[in-house]
């Protein structure tokens, strides 16, 4: 009996020793994963999956977000989705674009210039949405003339032009902003910001009965002088009998973009009394969502970037006109020795890091400023593009997509584009000179 007891104790001790040894091995082992390998390909209808494996057999997996549909004439070339299904996907993408711009929320690191007679938005206050600005007179619309990415780098830079420069129109306002028609253009994914008058004549927008209103329809009003206002419907709410009881309207008005739920009767009254007509976009199936890495939505698998220690006064990846001044703002100089500026991949100049750097009379090209020693926070870039308009009372505007300029446009007095020329960078990203004949 005594012998059996000692045998039992020995077995227990051996097991504990092996267990502790195993735990110790697990504590000292550092996983070394291989490259990500695709396990399931993503399609336009389903997410995919990729995996990386450690030599010990442990694995990491992550989702590959499904791809966009490749829609041609209302049909996807990669799947069997019906046109009705593609329309609903386009509607969802439009609503995501609306939500992205309406629900943007950030704390201002400086005082934002006043908009018309409105009180300035103070440093430290929370701003929701985008500022309103009739920038067709001098500067750039957010989402079309300047990317949302560029705007967000500017708004997070307390030294940027958006806080220290105003347009020279009849009232002061930020140099970057949005207006009613430009904002709606972004929601539908248009590369060019159409004016309200152009929406009235747009062949892909058809007038419908106000009683048939659906999400993503637009309310459009244009007066005899060609000016007006455009709104977009975000939602229509119904009672238990499927009768409409409320309409949610989103729009860009002074001082910023807003969302306004309205009782259905008030909606119909505004349509009638203010001269609005309801239009529907017949190519809703073509709309894609444009995710923004600064403010991903809950269903977006996007890595948030770190803010840079150096940023151009117009924002990272901005496009400016030839001859304009631009300042490279040094936001954090700790640990850096110098700033190296390149143009089209070749050395342009070197500077110290003790103060901001003013660059003047720049020729067209792709510029990058990098602080040394390098890290993830040390780079900013901008593009200088040389374009001309040859008619009085008209100005030059840029359009861009994913931060890359795609065209330059002459704009009419109400912001409508009357002619544009595509900008094609060569392999070295050097932009050629273009003229607009008007």
- Give all domains of the chain, ordered by start, each with its CATH number: 33-67 (no CATH), 92-286 (no CATH), 310-435 (2.60.40)
Q: According to the model, what pLDDT value does residue 393 have?
A: 46
Q: How far apart are the first and last CA of the chain?
A: 109
Confidence band (pLDDT; 50, 70, 90) for 230? Answer: very high
Confidence band (pLDDT; 50, 70, 90) for 437? Answer: very low
Q: According to the model, what pLDDT value does residue 186 have?
A: 87
What share of the chain in percent tops pLDDT 70?
71
Q: Which residues of 352-394 form beta strands (DSSP E)? A: 357-359, 365-372, 379-385, 387-388
pLDDT tens profile 141-153: 787 777 888 889 9
Instruction: Give the residue, 438 or 362, on which the prediction is more confident.
Output: 362
Confidence band (pLDDT; 50, 70, 90) for 199? Answer: confident
Contact (Cβ atoms closer than 8 angstroms) between residue 113 and residue 174: yes
Burial of 202 (0-12, 13-18, 19+ CB in 10 A): middle
pLDDT at 417 over 80: no
Burial of 243 (0-12, 13-18, 19+ CB in 10 A): exposed
How many Å apart are CA 223 and CA 216, to the nearest integer?
Answer: 23
pLDDT at 111 over 70: yes
pLDDT at 248 over 90: yes
Q: According to the model, what pLDDT value does residue 298 have?
A: 67
How many Å apart are CA 307 and CA 297, to the nearest integer?
Answer: 19
Instruction: Give the residue, 99 or 397, on which the prediction is more confident.
Output: 99
Q: What is the mean pLDDT of residues 286-312?
A: 76
Residue that has been written with the tokens 């590959």 in this structure? 64
pLDDT at 13 over 80: no
Confidence band (pLDDT; 50, 70, 90) for 423? Answer: low
How many Å apart are CA 16 and CA 392, to the nearest integer?
Answer: 89
Q: According to the model, what pLDDT value does residue 389 have?
A: 42
pLDDT at 191 over 60: yes
Kindly report the average pLDDT of the chain as a whole number: 78
pLDDT tens profile 17-36: 544 444 444 456 778 788 88
Q: According to the model, what pLDDT value does residue 214 have?
A: 95
Q: What is the mean pLDDT of residues 78-91?
A: 83
Q: What is the mean pLDDT of residues 48-56?
A: 86
Q: According to the model, what pLDDT value does residue 253 have?
A: 87
Q: According to the model, what pLDDT value does residue 327 have?
A: 95
How many Å apart are CA 83 and CA 85, to the nearest integer?
Answer: 5
How many Å apart are CA 378 and CA 309, to the nearest integer?
Answer: 6
């Amino acid at each position: 009996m005594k012998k059996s007891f000692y045998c039992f104790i020995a077995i227990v001790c051996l097991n504990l020793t092996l267990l502790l040894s195993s735990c110790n091995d697990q504590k000292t082992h550092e996983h070394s994963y291989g490259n990500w390998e695709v396990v399931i390909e993503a399609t336009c209808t389903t997410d995919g999956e990729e995996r990386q494996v450690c030599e010990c057999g442990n694995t990491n997996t992550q989702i590959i977000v499904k791809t966009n549909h490749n829609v041609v004439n209302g049909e996807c070339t990669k799947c069997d989705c019906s046109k009705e299904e593609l329309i609903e996907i386009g509607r969802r993408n439009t609503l995501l674009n609306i939500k992205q711009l309406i629900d943007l929320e950030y704390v201002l690191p400086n005082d934002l210039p006043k908009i018309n007679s409105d009180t300035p938005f103070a440093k430290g206050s929370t701003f929701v949405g985008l500022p309103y600005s009739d920038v067709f007179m001098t500067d750039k619309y957010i989402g079309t003339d300047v990317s949302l990415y560029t705007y967000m780098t500017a708004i997070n830079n307390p030294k940027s032009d958006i806080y220290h420069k105003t347009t020279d129109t009849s009232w002061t306002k930020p140099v970057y902003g949005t207006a009613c028609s430009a904002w709606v253009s972004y929601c539908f994914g248009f590369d060019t910001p159409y004016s309200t008058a152009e929406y009235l004549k747009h062949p892909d927008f058809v007038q419908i009965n106000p009683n048939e209103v659906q999400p993503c329809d637009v309310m459009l009003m244009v007066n005899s002088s060609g000016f007006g206002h455009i709104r977009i419907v975000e939602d229509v709410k119904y009672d238990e009998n499927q009768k409409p009881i409320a309409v949610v309207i989103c729009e860009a008005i002074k001082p910023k973009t807003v969302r306004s739920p309205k009782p259905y009767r008030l909606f119909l009254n505004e349509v009638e009394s203010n001269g609005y007509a309801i239009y529907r976009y017949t190519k809703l199936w073509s709309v894609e969502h444009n995710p923004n890495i600064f403010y991903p939505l809950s269903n977006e698998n996007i890595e948030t970037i770190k803010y840079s220690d150096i940023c151009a006064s117009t924002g990272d990846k901005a496009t400016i006109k030839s001859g304009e001044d631009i300042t490279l703002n040094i936001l954090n100089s700790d640990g850096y020795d110098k700033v190296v500026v390149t143009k089209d991949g070749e050395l342009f100049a070197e500077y110290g890091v003790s103060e901001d750097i003013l660059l003047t009379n720049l020729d067209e090209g792709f510029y990058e400023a990098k602080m040394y020693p390098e890290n993830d926070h040390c780079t900013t870039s901008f593009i200088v593009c040389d374009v001309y308009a040859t008619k009085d009372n008209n100005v030059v505007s840029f359009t861009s997509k994913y931060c890359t300029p795609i065209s330059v446009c002459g704009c009419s007095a109400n912001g409508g584009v009357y002619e544009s020329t595509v900008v094609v960078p060569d392999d070295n990203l050097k932009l050629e000179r273009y003229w607009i004949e008007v």
